[in-house]
Amino acid sequence: MSEGLRSTPYMHSGSVTSVEQSNRVLRNTYWLLALSMVPTVAGAWIGVTTGLMTALSPMMGLVIFMAGAYGFMFAIEKTKNSATGVSVLLGFTFFMGLMLSRLVGAVLGLSNGASLIMMAFAGTGAIFLGMATMSSIIKRDLSSMGKFLFIGMIMLLVAGIANMFIQSSALMITLSVLAIGIFSAFILYDLKRVKDGEETNYITATLSVYLSLYNVFQSLLAIFGITSGDD
């Protein structure tokens, strides 16, 4: 579960930049975000074909996931102002794809698994398009959203870890629906920060939006997999 993986940009006040610079950061963010999908898909494919993640227990998988993810995020923070930061970020997205392979493999095992994955992908794309559009339209300052979204994310993380022991499908669906709402709002929040010139580093911006998209896709896929009726 990746609900706990988020930077906390609302804790760092950035200086307001020119419209041109904000637009340049936004374009670079979109470009890098699109590029990051390639290693993500590659990681998921390798994970599914090798069965690497299914060989691990859920608890061991969680430990590796948290250690690896936060290690990568620390490295990204240290290299975000250099070209190396792009390579580290792409390495991180490959790792995240690998971690996603357990869920992807489980859904692919269903008779309509491929279509469910495409539905989750399309739904994630639609949410991103909607939030990106809203970030360009909304004029009000959304900086106050950050703290509330962060609290909601922490609550999701705690409940998600608890459900690893409870193993409740109903709770999983509930948490997935909440995650879609929270991380969709995070996408709007992060893109608005770039638009307003509060986030001036496109690698940091890409990381934040990528994690939100990852969680939205993962949550949609979990819902479709659980409710497909084939399990």
Q: What is the dihedral of CA 224, 229, 230, 231, to 10 degrees?
A: 80
Tokens encoding 218: 């993962």
Give pLDDT tens digits along the chain (231 positions): 565 565 544 434 444 448 888 899 999 999 999 999 999 999 999 999 998 888 888 788 888 998 999 999 999 999 999 999 999 999 999 999 999 999 999 999 998 999 999 999 999 999 999 999 999 999 888 888 988 999 999 999 899 888 888 888 899 999 999 999 999 999 999 999 999 889 999 999 999 999 999 999 999 999 999 988 544
Q: How far apart are CA 162 and CA 219, in angstroms?
A: 17
Phi, psi at 185, each rounded to 5°: -65, -35
Residue extents of the structural domains in the chain: 17-227
